[in-house]
Amino acid sequence: MYPWRGWPVQSARTMAAPVTECENCGHSDAELVEVQRVYLHPGDDDRPDRVDVVEVPEWWCVSCVTQYPCRPR
């Protein structure tokens, strides 16, 4: 009655939805740039400047890319 019973089950593959909003400011934009977020930590007299780069990429609008520290991928 059900010929598909007993057939191997294939797992469903999911695809990530295309990013349509800037992950920094939340603005909807069709033109986004993949970047790595950069944190700048100014030093003191006894401590040097430090730069931390986040490894996980994000999608930012052009406005955020030009105004905030980031590293294009």
Query: What pLDDT, in 10s, does the model give residues 20-61?
Result: 999 999 999 989 999 999 999 999 889 899 999 999 999 999
Task: Spell out the residues 6+ positions from residue 44 whose beta carbon is closer than 8 angstroms to its own.
Answer: none
Q: What is the pLDDT of residue 19?
A: 85
Which is nearest to 29 in space by CA: 39, 37, 19, 38?
Answer: 19
So where are the chain's domains? 32-72
Q: How many Cβ atoms from other residues are within 10 Å of residue 28's Cβ? A: 9
Task: Spell out the residues 6+ positions from residue 23 whose beta carbon is closer than 8 angstroms to its own.
Answer: 58, 59, 60
Confidence of residue 15 (pLDDT cuts 50, 70, 90): low
**pTM of the predicted structure, to 2 decimals:** 0.70
Q: What is the pLDDT of residue 13?
A: 57
Task: Spell out the residues 6+ positions from residue 69 whose beta carbon is closer than 8 angstroms to its own.
Answer: 37, 38, 39, 40
